Amino acid sequence: MKQNFTVRQGALDGVEAFLSVALHRSFRRAAADLGVTPSAISQAIRALEARLGTALFIRTTRSVGLTEAGEQFLRRAKPAFEDLVAATESARDLGQRTAGLLRLSAPRALVPHLMELIASFCAAYPEVEVEIAANANLVDIAAEGFDAGVRLGQFIEADMIAVRLAPSLPLAVVGSPDYLRRRKRPERIDDLRQHACLRMRRSNGSIAPWSFVNGNEAVEVIVAGPFIANDMPMMLGAAIEGLGLAQVPAPLAAEAVKAGKLVRVLERFAPMTPGVFLYYPNRHQMMPKLRAFIDHVKRHADFGKPASPKAKRTGAG
C-alpha cells in the first residue's frame, strides 16, 4: 500500500540553536555565536524539546549538559546538519559562479558542426564541463536532465525559448550516381512514385513525409522505399551505398555531393527549413553556466537573435 510522506513544517527549527548550545555548553555563548539574544535561544530550544517530546539539556545555574536523548540527537543531527549546510553552500556557489556540468542534447548529424562553438566556449569558461548526448530522438530536456538542446527549428516545442545557431537551409533530395544510372532521374515530384525513397522514423513512431515547394505551394509527399532510419547520417550513408534517394538538410550532404558520391535532384522543388536552434526551458532563475553559453552562442553564431518556435515553423526568423 502506498504511503504518503510529508516534510513537517519547521522540522529543522531549533536544530542550529541546539548544536550551538551543545558546542559551547552555554546558552549565552551560543546566542553570541548566532547573533541573537539568549532568550531567543532558550525559546528555540524549548520549542524543539516540545516537538521531540523529550528534554535535550540538563540546565543548572552553573552549567549546561546533555541528556541521554540530547547526546543521541547530537550524534545524528550534527553530521546531517553539516551536510545540509555544505549542500546549501554548494548550490549557492553554482548559482553564483559560471561552473559545473552543462548537458546538451543534439542530433548526431549536428554534433560536428557544434564543435568549434563548444571549443571556444570551453576556452572562455574553463570551470564549465560540457557534455553532449547525441540522440536521434527528440528528448524532453527538462525530464532527462539536460540544460538545453540543439535541433532543427520545426522540431522544437512551442513552450521552449530558442536562439538561432544557423540560418534557414534547404532540404536536398540526393542519390548516388550508381542508383541514378539504374533509375531514371526524377524531374517532377510525382516521379518519386517510381523510386526507392529512404525514410526517417520520428521519435513518436511515425514516418516523416518528404516536403517540397511547388511554386508558392508547400507539398508533403508520402514516399516508399526499402530502408527506414531514425538518424540523418545513417540515412545519408544508405543513399551513398545506392539504396535509394534520401531527403536531408543540404549542408549534411554537401561534402558527399562535392566528392561525387551523391547527386542532387529535384532542386527547384527544394523547401527551406527554419534552420538550427539552441533551445531551453523558460526559467526565471537561470544557472550562470547556461546563461554564459547562451550569451556565447549569441556572440559567435551566424544568427544569434532569439526567435520563437511558433515563428520559425512558419519560416520566419
Closest CA to 209 of 225, 224, 194, 220: 220
Architecture of domain 15-96: Orthogonal Bundle (1.10)
Cα separation, 86 vs 88, in Å, equals 5
| Domain residue ranges of the chain, discontinuous segments joined by + | 15-96, 100-168+274-313, 169-273
The whole-number pLDDT of residue 284 equals: 65
Bridge partners of residue 171, in order along the sequence? 249
Q: Number of C-alpha atoms within 13 angstroms, CB side, residue 314?
A: 6
Cα separation, 253 vs 232, in Å, equals 10
Work out the pLDDT band at 206, boundaries 50, 70, 90. confident
Cα separation, 76 vs 17, in Å, equals 15
The whole-number pLDDT of residue 307 equals: 42
Hey, what's the cell of 253?
550532404
Architecture of domain 169-273: 3-Layer(aba) Sandwich (3.40)
Select the highest-mean-pLDDT range: 158-172, 181-195, 282-296. 181-195
The whole-number pLDDT of residue 140 equals: 81
Neighbours of 108 (CB within 10 A): 15
Cα separation, 254 vs 252, in Å, equals 6
Backbone angles phi, psi at 283, to 5 degrees: -120, 135
In percent, how much of the chain has pLDDT > 90?
44
* CATH topology match: 100-168+274-313 vs 169-273: yes
> Read out DSSP for 39-59?
HHHHHHHHHHHHHHTS--EEE
Work out the pLDDT band at 86, boundaries 50, 70, 90. confident
Q: Which one-letter amino acid corresponds to residue 119? A: A
For strand 100-106 and strand 148-152, is the pairing parallel, antiparallel, or unpaired?
parallel
Cα separation, 101 vs 52, in Å, equals 40
Cα separation, 305 vs 197, in Å, equals 36
Hey, what's the cell of 269?
522543388
- CA 144, 147, 148, 149 torsion: positive or negative? negative
Q: What is the CA radius of gyration of the chain?
A: 31
The whole-number pLDDT of residue 190 equals: 96
Name residues whose C-beta falls within 8 Å of residue 150's C-beta, 6 or more positions apart in sequence. Answer: 104, 105, 106, 107, 110, 114, 165, 276, 277, 278, 279
> Read out DSSP for 80-112?
HHHHHHHHHHHHHHHHHSS-EEEEEEE-TTTHH
Which tens digits make up the pLDDT trace of 172-204?
999 999 999 999 999 999 999 999 999 998 777
Architecture of domain 100-168+274-313: 3-Layer(aba) Sandwich (3.40)
The whole-number pLDDT of residue 263 equals: 97
